[in-house]
Amino acid sequence: MLYRLKTDFRLSIITLLGASAVLGITPFAVMRFLQGNVVAGIVDTLILLGITGSVVYAWMTGDTRRSGLVCALIACGGAVTVGAVVGEPGLFWLYPCLVTTFFLTTPRIAVVLNIMSVVALVVHGGAFRSEVHMWTFVATALVVSACAYVFAYRNHNQRERLEHLATVDPLTGIKNRRSMDEELELAVANSVRTGLPYALVLLDIDHFKKINDEHGHGVGDDVLVDLVALLAQNTRKSDQLFRFGGEEFVLLLPGVDGIGLKAVMNNLQQVLRKYMKHPGGTVTASFGVALLKPGESVDSWLARADAALYQAAYSGERDRSFRGS
């Protein structure tokens, strides 16, 4: 539970809104029923039930996009209704809604919801003592919305940058091992669900340490970048390439069976032999391949490919063949 709250920002906002609704709205709903203000009490209750239902839906399905939008609609609509029914005291409920909409849904939708909420209260007009009061409210609502927009926009950009840094290899620009683990889990789950075959290819550049020692790390980096570019040019868009670590790479091939895998590997070996060069000569590589077996786990699948790579690397047949498992 805590892990999901830490890793899913929108879910944490939805949950926080739900907790705030329960703690903040429930006393007012009870008080209004006790005071005989049944309409306001019913409105508060419906808002509370709607937000709570959205929180439960978000936790059960993981669909924070829809639940966030529903929460934003309920919060803004409820705040406008409370303002219209209760009058001036109800206006204060709109301010937290103007802020949270930017974290519950997209900035464009949040701007539209905020403007519509303010316009609805202005058109109704019953919550304001005077025009000065009304326009003061409009000005402060716009300022709050503008500040929330800027903060939410910067927060979104920073989260995207952090996610990029956490999932992409900075040198080659391809996905790293963390992304690989997630994609392999998805591949296994998809294979179980649809029966689609998957192949895994582990690639290790031969004598890469020697290249670094004799020609410098700059040349070694260039070899890695050139290799990634070459693999990208000679694989499908649906194939995924990951940097496993150092000079090792993993290629995930969806929809590839044994016959197709042999054709892919033969093509890659020819391409690497023809185009991969460095100041000291040709760059060679060893391959280990494994087709996903029915019911197999990611760890077992990866271990078989790694064992095949080890066999290929030490069999004396570097770059002339590959080993499968």
User: Residue 205: CA atoms inside 13 Å, Cβ hemisphere, count?
Assistant: 29
Number of H helices, E strands in the chain: 12, 7
Q: Which residues are paired to 242 by β-bridges?
A: 175, 250
Closest to 15 in 3D by CA, of 144, 44, 23, 109: 23
The alpha carbon torsion through 28, 31, 32, 35 (nearest 10 deg) reads -160
- The tokens for 268 are 């890659």
Give the integer Cα–Cα distance in Å for 122 and 323: 73
- Asked if 144 and 95 touch (Cβ cutoff 8 Å), the reply is yes
Give the integer Cα–Cα distance in Å for 4 and 273: 46
- Catalytic residue flag (residue 182): no
Give the integer Cα–Cα distance in Å for 172 and 178: 15
The owner of tokens 């500040």 is 147
Q: 81: burial class by Cβ within 10 Å (0-12, 13-18, 19+)?
A: buried
DSSP per residue over 70-103, as a string?
Answer: HHHHHHHHHHHHHHHHH-GGGGGGHHHHHHHHHH
Of the residues 247, 248, 296, 317, only one is catalytic, namely: 247
Give the integer Cα–Cα distance in Å for 231 and 320: 17
> Which residues participate in catalysis according to the annotation?
247
